[in-house]
Amino acid sequence: MQNAFLASILASVVCGIMGVIIVEKKLVMMSGGIAHTAYGGVGLGYFLGIEPILGAFFFSVSAAIGIGYIKRKGGVQSDVIIGLLWSMGMALGIVFIALMPGYPPDLSSYLFGNILSVTKMDLRLMIILTCIVVFVVIALFNDWKAYLFDEEFASIIGVKTAFLEYLLLVLVAMTVVVLIRVAGIIMVLALLIAPAATAGLFSSKLKGRIVYAIAFGILFCITGLWISYLMNIASGACIVIIAVVFYFVAYMICAIYTKMKRKQMAERQQIKD
Amino acid sequence: MEKVIQIENLSVYYGKTVAIKNICLDIEQGEFLGIIGPNGGGKSTLLKAVLGLIPVTTGSIRIFGKEPGNSRGEVGYVPQFAAMDRRFPISVFEVVLTGRLGTGLSPFMRYSKADKIVAYEQLERVGIVDLAERQISELSGGEFQRLLIARTLTMRPRLLLLDEPTASVDATSREQIYQLLEDLNKEMTILLVTHDLLAISSKVHKLACLNESLVYHGEPELSQTIVNKLYGCPVDLIAHGVPHRVLKEHEEETQID
């Protein structure tokens, strides 16, 4: 249980930071592609007898760098490549697992998340990756802000934008790997997007959004964990349902609130006139 | 007079398509040059080549005697505000500060007091200092465009390149921006890509017409032949409130007695 809580905190931190960036820069499809490619790594890891999560890590990072390279060369449209890698990764995972003799193990916890089965090795990797992501984002925060807002200008004044582009994709890959255990590959996107999207409803500043997103992430994970424990359903699914439902409810509340405020202001104007 | 930009036989091809061909253009210090031309005629390409953002196919460009991209602190670029991500969560002040970023990467860098003072000064210069704490999504077109100018000014450039700074900007803001540019021209050379003929007629010193090749370069006065060459067909250029004629007298008019 303690492992599960720690995993939740780590996952919330990375998905708070990276989620806000991903949602803002419209990198959702790319993140999904990297996440699904990771399954190929899971299969490969299992095939080679190493921890599947390590295989997932190497595969995701390679996919991220590959996508970055192809994007830079400008040959094919990036969403074509992402779409292809998305399915290819899943297919490779299945093939690698099938190639091992004997009964295939239950790897569904990688697909759907089972935060309760997080191992010490998983946690160790998650801690390292979370620290790297946090460190890189904080260390280069001003460069990131300039690059994310206006890449062309940043490049003109001499900021190393090519490096930042690759670095961003690698950070996304690391984030995805941290989230695999918590939400599962198939639902990583929801955990990346929902806290960030909800945070966007409450804050219009970058730092503010990141803080809110981390807080919401923790809320969703802990609540989802609790329900998953009570009802014995995969943790990934519970967390994702809480997250998405919360977002839509928050969205509606905000929409109604804004409407009411507008009405109030219109009425006040009428009374004045 | 120092030559700020020297362009010799410049051609830029995108693959097999020619964007600009055989451009020869010299710009001297203190000039205020306007570049007009049809869409797709190569104006943005020329700007990007001068900035070193795209590779040159043949010919050469020298900015302050150096290759493009090597005079980072001296060349300021103001893009069109329409191309910006206006929903990004960043404040006006933070945007202006980004002009003070160093080259390469700056780990654990915090903007210094001097940086912040310069940023405030430039915001005051362009007239939006009371919007400093606003998020950029709350700005109007004119305010945003002035923000982009302020950002570039923090670098204290000697050459300012502007890409259609008054496209989609209301008339009052437009006039404010041109006033600002006239002011700035006292300290720096300005290159302005525009569709705005009012600017061409009343503000710029020299005019260049670009449609793949340099159709004209000289005083801001256009004859019908040049306009034909520039737009490929007879185009009536009408500018409202133009204090003096941009277009030369038509032949028909002089025939009416």
CATH numbers and ranges of domains, chain B:
3-103+111-196 (3.40.50.300)
Which of B74, B97, B106, B115 is the best residue to mutate to test the A interface, defined by the most A CB atoms within 10 Å of its own CB? B106
Question: What residues in B contact A158, CB-CB < 8 Å?
Answer: 72, 101-104
The pLDDT > 90 percentage for chain A reads 31
Q: What is the pTM of this model?
A: 0.84
Residue B243 vs residue B5, higher pLDDT? B5
At B251, is the pLDDT very low, low, confident or very high (cuts 50, 70, 90)?
very low
The answer to whether A174 and A224 have CB atoms below 8 angstroms apart is no
Confidence of residue B257 (pLDDT cuts 50, 70, 90): very low
Q: Which residues, at least 6 apart from A182, have a Cβ–Cβ distance to it below 8 Å?
A: A7, A8, A11, A113, A115, A191, A221, A235, A236, A239
Q: How confident is the model at residue A2 (pLDDT cuts 50, 70, 90)?
A: confident
Q: Give per-residue pLDDT as tens, A144-153.
A: 999 999 988 9
Q: Tell me which chain A residues have a C-beta less than 8 angstroms from the C-beta of B135.
A: 204-205
Longest dimension (CA), chain B: 76
* Local structure of residue B3 (DSSP, 8 states): E
Q: How far is A25 from chain B (nearest CA, A)?
A: 9
User: Quick check: B254 pLDDT over 70?
Assistant: no
Percent of chain B residues topping a pLDDT of 70: 86
Whether pLDDT at A116 is above 90: no
Q: What amino acid is encoded at A140 in this protein? A: L
Mean pLDDT of B226-241: 62
pLDDT band at B223 (very low <50, low <70, confident <90, very high): low
Per-residue pLDDT band for A180 (boundaries 50, 70, 90) equals: confident
Domains and CATH numbers, chain A: 2-272 (1.10.3470.10)
Interchain pair B102, A158: CB under 8 A: yes
* B145: Cα within 13 Å, side-chain hemisphere: 23
The larger pLDDT score, comparing residue B5 to residue A235, is at B5
Does the CB of A2 have a partner CB in chain B at under 8 Å? no
Q: Please, which residues 140-199 of chain A have a Cβ atom closer than 8 Å to chain B?
A: 140, 142-143, 145-146, 148-150, 152-160, 163-164
- Given a cut of 60, whether residue A141 has pLDDT beyond it is yes
A24 Cβ under 8 Å from any chain B Cβ: yes
Which residues in chain B are closer than 8 Å to A148, comparing Cβ atoms? 88
- Cα distances (angstroms) measured from residue A247 to each of A35, A75, A190, A251, B239: 22, 37, 10, 6, 51
Report the complex ipTM. Answer: 0.82
- pLDDT for residue A120: 83
Looking at residue A120, its amino acid is: K
Nearest CA in chain B to A202: B89
**Residue A272 — φ and ψ, nearest 5°?**
-65, -40
Of B62, B34, B38, B5, the residue nearest B212 (C-alpha): B38
Output the CA torsion A198→A201→A207→A212 (10° steps). Answer: -40
Those of residues 195-224 in B touching chain A at CB distance below 8 A are none
Contact across the interface for A143 and B110, Cβ inside 8 Å = no
